[in-house]
């Protein structure tokens, strides 16, 4: 999708079996809400540096935020994995319409 100068690629990265196994491992491994979260499992997936968030159900959500850290490469990607409930990723930018992408569950 290329809308409002926002280049978005959506793909299912994991098979259902891989997603279920990964979700189970994350449930065992993650300590939620530490001040600095490093997920060894996600780092092993193509050396992804990540910030992990846990949402409880389809009604729970993560608030909006800006990926505008001064040391962030402006051409870097945003990677989102959803294990479990369907989520909607919403991209908002000043002077542009919002773009909503549902992250499907299995």
Q: What is the pTM of this model?
A: 0.46
Tokens of 34: 């530490």
Q: H or E element: which one contains 12? A: none
How many Å separate Cα 58 from the centre of its chain? Answer: 15
3-state secondary structure (DSSP) of residue 20: helix
Model confidence at 61: pLDDT above 70: no
Q: Give residue-wise pLDDT tens across range 67-83.
A: 667 777 777 777 777 77
Q: Is 60 annotated as a binding residue?
A: no
Is the CA virtual torsion 51, 26, 61, 83 positive or negative? Answer: positive
Residues 45-66, mean pLDDT to the nearest whole number: 56
Higher-pLDDT residue of 71, 98: 98
User: Nearest-CA neighbor of 47 among 93, 79, 14?
Assistant: 79
What pLDDT, on the 0 to 100 scale, is given for residue 71? 73
């Amino acid at each position: 999708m290329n809308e409002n100068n926002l280049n978005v690629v959506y793909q299912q990265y994991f098979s259902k079996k891989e997603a279920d196994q990964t979700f189970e491992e994350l449930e065992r491994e993650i300590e939620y809400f530490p001040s600095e979260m490093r997920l060894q499992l996600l780092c092993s997936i193509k050396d992804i540096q990540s910030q992990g968030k846990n949402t409880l159900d389809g009604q729970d959500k993560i608030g909006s935020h800006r990926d505008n850290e001064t040391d962030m490469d402006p051409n870097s990607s945003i990677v989102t994995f959803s294990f479990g409930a369907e989520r909607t990723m919403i991209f908002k930018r000043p002077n542009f319409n919002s773009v909503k992408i549902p992250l499907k569950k299995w």
